[in-house]
């Protein structure tokens, strides 16, 4: 059977001859009917002359109207219309040809031409259409037989797009897909038929999966934004039906088979919320024609900031990162997609003050997006000195240089783990927040601080220089698909056949897609006046174990049956849930419903010096002393599932012993 399905199509000349044979046979039958089947008289008459002329006209007409060029198994209404048109043209041309080529020259008038043509029109066209219908039916009966290897799929919706998907699937045998029907939510279309395919209701998905062997459903990207998408997808996954997505028909690539344009539904698609509306005009006014620096440009957030910033046509974009390969990849991408924009690449670490100073001196950025940071909680719990040197000292270097070089806006990318930090990574980001806020809020800095000395060495007024830079912090939770995050790890584990590792069955996290997080970062940058910490609406927190189950189902597998989920226990520094606001913070609304301002009690100017002291401790490599100092600067920093829990002071204690005493 499969040999028949995979066989090459018949040559076009064969189809042309078959059509000619059918129409000539029809003409013969019509001739005999008019002659009342008087065979002796017919054969003695001019039958062969009339038939030969008809065959010549039919051959020329079929060839010119290209009735033989369509693949018979995919015949449609247009092909049927072309057949009727061709037979009609033959029927109109034949009497004229008989009159001119037979009757007048040879004085032959032995046939009722009008009667023959009238009968032949219906017989010939009907036989040609029936031949195509029979072959098409035979082909699909074989394809849908138990011996066929084609996968049965459903198509969500019953509009023109859904019909085009069905026709596209049936037009390419290499797709190896068989449309079993459509799925609709509108009652008026349920149980109807479209091109011989039934329209099922959502409630019939279980039956379709069990009795018809359906294992996949196709949706367009546009349908993923519909109100009922989650209910439909959940129902599919519940019954083991894998969901595939395809772009709208106007976005299909003509040189690419439909099967290659089908994509698996991603967890990012399923968790994505309503599209974010941002003020593009205001962002464009802020970024257009400016020199913009992005640190951590090779990372997930930094690279997406680069992509979105480039759409606003900056004068220059400076991409800075220490990861050579990843930086080269983003360079190649943006230079190909935005050839007219001046893009500069700087390899270097934000920890290297001299290297960063050269960057600011050579390129003179006007706006800075600071995304460079260490972010992995367990890793930083084991290497707190590195967390401080990158997340705190690196931020300090870029912030100080922004002041010295009169950067107009400094936007720092922070994390929800900075709220009531339970780990070194979160605490280091909170310290970075404190540093840039202090730079913004205090005109008078400690004279012994390096920031003060650096600015004074330039011979400028400290207050005037500081007031030129507004420092803005953006804080949000986990981003889906970022490097090293849970989603890519789960995908890799699924590809290997499992198991999926989850730390705890109750652990929850907030998630946001990378593009929407960056959209909000750009929007927050335009509305900030300096000193604010902007927090983003992260929606509802998600249980990681639910995320794992959903990803297994999206892969067309059954959790705990095809792929196991194992619990490994919370890692050092991890807590069960994250927070977006600390108790001491007040939330203020902004004009954007998804962005709020967290007002934090401003620290004294001495924080600048305290943080410099902390950096000095980190350079000595004394982890215990370093973490103790961090806890002294951040009273709400309480370690969770960590060896540094012993350094926490008792809650509500009046115990004022010096922190260094705790180490003895």
Task: Supply the residues annotated as catalytic.
Answer: 417
Query: For residue 7, what are its two tokens?
Result: 């066989």
Q: Which residues have C-beta within 8 Å of that of residue 529, sequence separation ≥ 6?
A: 470
In 247-390, alpha helices (H): 258-261, 267-271, 280-287, 300-310, 324-337, 353-363, 377-382, 384-387
Q: Which of 433, 377, 418, 376 is nearest to 580 (CA)?
A: 418
d(CA 213, CA 206): 10
| Closest of 552, 569, 574 to residue 505, by C-alpha | 569
Q: Tell me if 239 sits within 8 A of 157, measured CB to CB.
A: no
Nearest-angstrom CA–CA distance, 367 and 262: 40
Q: 236: closest CA among 223, 248, 222, 249?
A: 223
Beta bridge partners of 411: 369, 472
d(CA 598, CA 436): 15
Within 8 A by CB and 6+ apart from 462, the residues are: 443, 444, 445, 452, 455, 456
Contact 87, 23 (CB under 8 A): yes
Q: Measured in whole angstroms, how far is the alpha carbon of residue 180 from the centre of its chain? A: 27
For residue 292, give the 3-state DSSP assignment.
Answer: strand
Q: Is the dihedral of CA 481, 482, 487, 489 positive or negative?
A: positive
Kindly give the interhelix angle for 450-457 and 607-620, rounded to the nearest 10 degrees: 110
For residue 377, CA distances in Å to 282, 555, 566 come to 36, 28, 20
Cis peptide before 499 (omega within 30 of 0): yes
Q: CA–CA separation, 638 vs 426, rounded Å?
A: 11
> Is the CB of residue 373 less than 8 Å from the CB of residue 391?
yes
Determine how β-strand 508-509 pairs with β-strand 197-201.
unpaired
| 347 close to 367: Cβ distance less than 8 angstroms | no
Is the Cα dihedral 275, 281, 286, 290 positive or negative?
A: positive
Q: Of 366, 292, 298, whose CA–CA distance to 331 is shortest? A: 298
Q: What is d(CA 488, CA 482) in angstroms, rounded to the nearest whole number? A: 8
Give 319's strand partners. Answer: 294, 345
Backbone angles phi, psi at 356, to 5 degrees: -70, -35
**82-87, long-range: CB < 8 A, 24+ apart:** 83/125, 83/128, 83/129, 83/132, 84/125, 86/61, 86/62, 87/23, 87/120, 87/121, 87/124, 87/125, 87/128
Distance CA 45, CA 27 (A): 16
| Longest distance between any two alpha carbons in the chain, whole Å | 130
Rg of the chain over all Cα atoms, to the nearest angstrom: 37
How many CB atoms sit inside 10 A of residue 266's CB? Answer: 17
Q: Say if CB 428 and CB 645 are below 8 A apart.
A: no
């Amino acid at each position: 059977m499969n040999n028949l399905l995979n066989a090459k199509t018949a040559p076009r000349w064969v189809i042309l001859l078959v059509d000619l044979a059918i129409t000539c046979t029809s003409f013969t039958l019509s001739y005999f009917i008019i002659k009342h089947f008087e065979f002796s008289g017919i054969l003695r008459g001019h039958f062969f002359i009339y038939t030969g002329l008809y065959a010549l006209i039919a051959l020329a007409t079929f060839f010119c109207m290209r009735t033989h060029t369509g693949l018979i198994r995919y015949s449609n209404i247009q092909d049927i219309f072309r057949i009727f048109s061709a037979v009609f043209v033959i029927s109109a041309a034949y009497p004229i040809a008989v009159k001119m080529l037979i009757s007048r020259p040879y004085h032959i008038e032995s046939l009722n031409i009008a009667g023959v043509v009238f009968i032949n029109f219906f017989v010939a066209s009907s036989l040609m259409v029936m031949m195509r219908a029979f072959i098409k039916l035979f082909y699909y009966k074989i394809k849908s037989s138990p011996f066929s290897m084609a996968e049965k799929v459903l198509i969500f919706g019953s509009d023109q797009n859904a019909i085009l998907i069905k026709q596209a699937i049936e037009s390419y045998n290499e797709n190896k897909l068989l449309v079993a029907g459509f799925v609709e939510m509108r009652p008026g279309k349920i149980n109807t038929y479209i091109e011989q395919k039934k329209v099922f209701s959502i409630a019939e998905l279980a039956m379709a999966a069990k009795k018809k062997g359906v294992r996949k459903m196709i949706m367009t990207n546009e349908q993923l934004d519909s109100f009922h998408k989650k209910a439909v997808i959940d129902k599919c996954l519940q019954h083991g039906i894998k969901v595939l997505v395809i772009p709208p028909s106007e976005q299909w690539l003509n040189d690419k088979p439909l099967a290659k344009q089908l994509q698996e539904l991603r967890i990012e698609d399923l968790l994505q919320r309503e599209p974010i509306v941002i003020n593009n005009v205001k962002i464009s006014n802020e970024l257009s024609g400016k020199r913009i620096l992005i640190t951590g440009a090779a990372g997930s957030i930094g690279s997406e900031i680069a992509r979105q910033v480039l759409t606003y046509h900056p004068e220059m974009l400076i991409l800075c990162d220490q990861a050579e390969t990843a930086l080269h990849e983003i360079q190649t991408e943006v230079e190909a997609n935005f050839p007219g924009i001046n893009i500069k690449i700087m390899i270097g670490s934000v920890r290297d003050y001299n290297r960063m100073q050269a960057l600011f001196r050579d390129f003179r950025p006007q706006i800075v997006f600071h995304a460079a940071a260490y972010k992995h909680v367990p890793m930083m719990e084991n290497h707190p000195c590195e967390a401080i040197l990158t997340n705190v000292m690196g931020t300090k270097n870029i912030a100080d240089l922004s002041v010295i070089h009169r950067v107009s806006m400094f936007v720092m990318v922070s994390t929800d783990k900075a709220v009531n930090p339970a780990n070194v990574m979160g605490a280091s980001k909170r310290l970075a927040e404190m540093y840039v806020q202090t730079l913004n809020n205090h005109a008078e800095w400690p004279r012994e601080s390096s920031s003060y000395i650096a600015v004074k060495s330039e011979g400028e007024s400290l207050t005037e220089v500081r007031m030129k830079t507004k420092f803005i912090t953006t804080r949000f939770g986990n981003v889906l698909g970022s490097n090293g995050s849970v989603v890519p790890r789960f995908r890799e584990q699924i590809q290997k056949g499992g198991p999926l590792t989850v730390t705890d069955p109750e652990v929850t996290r907030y998630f946001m897609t990378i593009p929407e997080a960056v959209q909000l970062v750009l929007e927050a940058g335009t509305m900030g006046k300096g000193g604010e910490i902007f927090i983003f609406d992260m929606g509802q927190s998600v249980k990681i174990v639910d995320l794992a189950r959903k990803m297994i189902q999206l892969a067309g597998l059954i959790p705990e049956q095809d792929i196991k989920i194992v619990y490994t226990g919370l890692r050092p520094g991890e807590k069960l849930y994250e927070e977006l606001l600390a108790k001491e913070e007040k939330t203020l609304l902004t004009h954007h419903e998804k962005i709020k301002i967290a007002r934090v009690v401003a620290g004294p100017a001495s924080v600048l010096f305290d943080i410099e002291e902390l950096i000095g401790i980190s350079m000595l490599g004394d982890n215990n002393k370093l973490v103790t100092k961090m806890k002294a600067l951040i009273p709400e920093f309480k370690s969770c599932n960590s060896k540094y829990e012993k350094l926490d002071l008792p809650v509500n204690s009046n115990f004022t012993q010096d922190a260094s005493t705790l180490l003895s």
